[in-house]
Structure 1
C-alpha cells in the first residue's frame, strides 16, 4: 500500500467513473484559501515541497487497487483501470515562504482528469496544515521582535509527522532551534533542550539535580527553576552557575506563573550574583499574543520557547481551503453554489509594491512592476528544478514580511490586504456565469447552451 491510498474515497469513485466514461482530457484544479481565518492579516505558503515529493512518486500499485476494492466491496478486477496510473501532469505554485492572501491560488494542477482528481485530498492536507502552522509561527516571529524562538511543540502536536512539520515550518520563518531530534538531524536545524520538572523531582533537592546535570553535560547548561519556589530556584541556579564557570550560553528557564514578574525578579537575582550573561528562557503556553504582551511589558526574557498553541495553531487551527476544477479540456468551468462561487480559468497572481495583489488569468501580461507569483514547479510529472531549500524559503518570507503593511502585521486586529480580480478574469467570470445561469433555467439543459469561452 502506498500514499496513493491516503485519499478520500470519493476521489476514487469519481476517478473510476471518469475512466469508464473516457473523460481523460486535461483538467486544471486550483487550490486556494477562500478567506483568512479571524485574527490573521496574512498567510505563509507552506507544504509545497512534501506535496511535490508525493506527486513525483505517485503510482497506483496492485496493493492499492486491492485496498480500494476492499473498501468499495468490489472485486479488484472492477478497478483494474486504476492499476499503474501515475501523475504525469503539470503543477504551477507559489513557492514556500511567500506571503499570500484569501482567494489566491497556492497551487494549480493540470493533468488528465482522473489523476488530477485523485491527488486532491493529499495536496489539501499538506498545504492546509502546513500553511496554517507556518502562519501562526510567523506571527510569533513578529511578536518576539528579533528575540530567538525555539520550537517545543512535538509532544503536543497531532502526531509525530505534524510535529516534524512544525519544526520545519518554525525554521522556515526564522525559529532558532527545535527540541525535535528527528527534525533537527534530518533538516539541519539546531537542536535545543533543557530538563523537565520530573528530573528535578527525582533528586532530593534542586541543587543536587542541577549539580548532577552539570556532571553529565560539560557545555553550557539550562536549569529549570520553577519546580518548587521560583525565586529560590533562581538563587540556587545562580550559585551553581557561578561556581562552574561554563562561560556564555548558560540559561535558566521559567515555565509557569506570571512570567513578566518572575523574569524581572530572576534577572535581578542573576545580575546581583554577577551573572549578567546568563539568559532567561520562557515557556509554558506561549503564542504570539502572550509573547507580544511580555515584550510590551518589558520582560527581560531572552528566548521564547513555544509549543502547544503554535504546533496546533490553537486559535485558528484550520483553513477554509478548496481544490476546485477551473478548466476541463480547454473549457473554463465554475461553481455557482451560494457563498461558494468560484472563478473559472487557469490563473496567475500579480504582486505590485505597495498595492493589493491582482488575481488574473494565466495568459495575462503583468503590468509594469508586477511580479507573477505562480511558477511552474512540475512538468510532465517531473520537478522542473531541484528541491527547494529552507534557506531559500526563509529569504522569501523575510522579504515579503518586510514589504507587508504594518496593519497586516499587527498581532491584535490585523487588517489583511484583499486581492482584486483583473478585468480579464472579471469578464470571463461574468460571461460564464450568465451562460451557466441561462443553461440551467427551467426547460433548458446545460447541453443546450454553449459554455465554451474564447
Structure 2
C-alpha cells in the first residue's frame, strides 16, 4: 500500500478550524467529545447513486497527523494563538474513533459515509482533509462508473492525466476510476504506486516524426510486435491511416507470425469511421484487430456512438472523466451531530431555511435491505445502539413525505459501516485495490436497472428509523421554541 509519508498534510485545514480549536482550548473544552458525520446531499450528474471513494487517503492522513516544529512556528507567527495551546499542539495525535463505508460502496444522499467520534479539537481539525479526500475521489469514481456503464461491456481506459487539476488529482483520480471499473490509466505513476495498469501506445507526434505515415507505423510495429496498436487519424483516416496500418500488419507483423492489436481513432465522425475501418480490416484478414476510440468522450457521447452501431471495442476517456467535467463538485459536508458529556450522548441539530440543509442528529450508522436475489431494496439510518431489523416485516417511510410507506418482507440486511479507528489506532484490515474494485462491481450489480439509467433514475429509498425521526422533530421543535423565546425576550 503506497503512503505519502514524506509529506505532512496536517496543516491542510481551513484556518477557522484552528481558530475554533484554540477557542475550545481556552474555554476548557478540549476534552469534550464531538460526533461528526460526513455525507452528501445530492447525487452527481443527477444520477441514481454515487460511489464512495477516498477512505484510503483518509486513513493515511489520520495515521500521519502531527504538527512539526515548523508548523508550530508558523502558527506562532500569526500572533493570535497562546503559547500553552501551541505547546499542546506539539504532542497532537489523532486519538478518536472512526466508522466508514468501505471504498467502492454504492451510497445515496444523506447517509453518513464517515462518522468521527473524537475530542472536539481533533474532530474539528480533520474536517478539510476528510472532505477533500472523499469529495474528489467519490466524484471521479461516480463519473467513471457512468462512463463504464455507457460502454456496455467495452473497456474504458482513463486517459486524462494531462487535464487533471494537479498531480494528486491525476494520480488519485486514476485510482478512483479503476475502482469504478476502468481497466487502466495513461498515468504511469498510478501503476507504480497502486498497480492501476498503465496503458498507451503512440501520439500523433510519433507519426509526424517520420518521413511518412507508413514508415512511422512500421517502426512502431518493429519495436512492439506483440502490442501493435496504431493511431490512424494523423493525416486521413480512411485514405491513408487504415490502409497503411493494414500494409504494416502485412509486411511487418505477419512475417513475424504476430497478430495486430488494432487501431485507434481520435478524431472525426467516430461512428462512421469505425464502421468503415472495421470493414477494411475484416476484408484484409484482420477481424481480430481491435478498434479503440478517444476524443473528448463522456457517457452521453459513448451512448450516442453505440446507438449508431459503431464498431468499437474500447474507449480512452480523458478530461470529461478525470475532472468530472459535467458535475465537478461532489458536495460532501461534515456536520456536528452529537456531543458526549460524562459518557452521555446529546444529539445536536443544525436548522436551515433550506430543508435539505437541516441535519439529522445523533450517533448513527446505516444498513441496507436486500431481497433473496441480493438486489438492494432500501437503506435505513439508525442510532448506533438500535438493533438491526431482524427479518420480520419492517415498514419504512419517506422522511419528508411520511405518508409514503412500504413494508419490506423476506429480506436480508447488511450493516454498511466498518470500524476504521478505535482510540486512534487503525483496526481496519485494508483491502487490496483489486479487492476494492471487485467489491465495487458487486455493489453496482446489486442495483435495479431503474437506478442505473442516466436520465430520471428512480429515487432510492433512504429511511430514518422511527427513533431518529422522532428525535429530529423533537429537536426541531425545541430549537425553534428557544429561538422564538429569544426574539420575544431579547434583553434576557
| TM-score, length-scaled by structure 2 | 0.87
- Residue equivalent to 2:404: none
Provide closer, same or farther for how the CA distance between residues 424 and 199 of structure 1 changes in structure 2, counting only shifts above 3 A: same
For residues 221-277 of structure 1, the C-alpha deviation after alignment (integer angstroms, 9 at most, x for no partner) is 111100110102011111101222263451110001111000001101111111111
Provide closer, same or farther for how the CA distance between residues 56 and 152 of structure 1 changes in structure 2, counting only shifts above 3 A: same
Say which SS state the counterpart of residue 484 (structure 2) adopts.
coil
Shift of 1:147: 1.0
For residues 400-444 of structure 1, the C-alpha deviation after alignment (integer angstroms, 9 at most, x for no partner) is 211212121013333331412111110110111222222222348
Provide closer, same or farther for how the CA distance between residues 248 and 387 of structure 1 changes in structure 2, counting only shifts above 3 A: farther
Please list, as runs of the form range in 1=range in 2, the aligned pairs for 1:390-409 lying within 5 A after superposition: 390-409=433-452
Which residue, 406, 411, 420 being the options, matches 2:463?
420
Which residue, 167, 178, 193 being the options, matches 1:171?
178
Say which SS state the counterpart of residue 262 (structure 1) adopts.
helix
Moved more, 241-250 or 227-236: 241-250
Cα distance in 2 between the residues matched to 1:331 and 1:375: 23
Say which SS state the counterpart of residue 407 (structure 1) adopts.
helix
- Residue equivalent to 1:384: 427
Provide closer, same or farther for how the CA distance between residues 212 and 73 of structure 1 changes in structure 2, counting only shifts above 3 A: farther
Do the aligned residues in 1 keep the contact of 2:249 with 2:260 (CA within 8 Å)? Answer: no
Provide closer, same or farther for how the CA distance between residues 76 and 307 of structure 1 changes in structure 2, counting only shifts above 3 A: farther
Would you say 1:348 and 2:365 are equivalent positions?
A: yes
Say which SS state the counterpart of residue 351 (structure 2) adopts.
coil
Cα distance in 2 between the residues matched to 1:395 and 1:346: 30
Do the aligned residues in 2 keep the contact of 1:8 with 1:121 (CA within 8 Å)? Answer: yes
Moved more, 244-253 or 358-367: 244-253
Would you say 1:17 and 2:39 are equivalent positions?
A: no
Would you say 1:357 and 2:379 are equivalent positions?
A: yes
- Cα root mean square deviation, aligned: 1.8
- Residue equivalent to 2:70: 63
Please list, as runs of the form range in 1=range in 2, the aligned pairs for 1:186-225 lying within 5 A after superposition: 186-225=193-232
Cα distance in 1 between the residues matched to 2:147 and 2:258: 29
Shift of 1:285: 0.6
Which residue, 349, 354, 366 being the options, matches 2:388?
366
Number of matched pairs = 445
- Residue equivalent to 2:101: 94
Say which SS state the counterpart of residue 3 (structure 1) adopts.
coil
Cα distance in 1 between the residues matched to 2:168 and 2:459: 30
Cα distance in 2 between the residues matched to 1:94 and 1:144: 27
Shift of 1:320: 2.2
Gap regions ≥5 residues in structure 2: 1-6, 371-375, 392-411
Would you say 1:279 and 2:294 are equivalent positions?
A: no
Which residue, 95, 107, 120 being the options, matches 1:113?
120
Cα distance in 2 between the residues matched to 1:273 and 1:234: 11
- Residue equivalent to 1:44: 51
Shift of 1:79: 3.0
Provide closer, same or farther for how the CA distance between residues 38 and 441 of structure 1 changes in structure 2, counting only shifts above 3 A: same
Moved more, 299-308 or 363-372: 363-372
Say which SS state the counterpart of residue 146 (structure 1) adopts.
coil
Shift of 1:189: 2.5
- Residue equivalent to 1:300: 311
Say which SS state the counterpart of residue 46 (structure 2) adopts.
coil
Do the aligned residues in 1 keep the contact of 2:52 with 2:106 (CA within 8 Å)? Answer: yes
Gap regions ≥5 residues in structure 1: 447-454
Would you say 1:234 and 2:242 are equivalent positions?
A: yes
Do the aligned residues in 2 keep the contact of 1:197 with 1:224 (CA within 8 Å)? Answer: yes
Shift of 1:217: 2.7
Say which SS state the counterpart of residue 84 (structure 1) adopts.
coil
| TM-score, length-scaled by structure 1 | 0.94
Cα distance in 2 between the residues matched to 1:162 and 1:137: 14
Shift of 1:68: 2.6
Say which SS state the counterpart of residue 5 (structure 1) adopts.
coil
Cα distance in 2 between the residues matched to 1:360 and 1:247: 60
Do the aligned residues in 1 keep the contact of 2:230 with 2:262 (CA within 8 Å)? Answer: yes
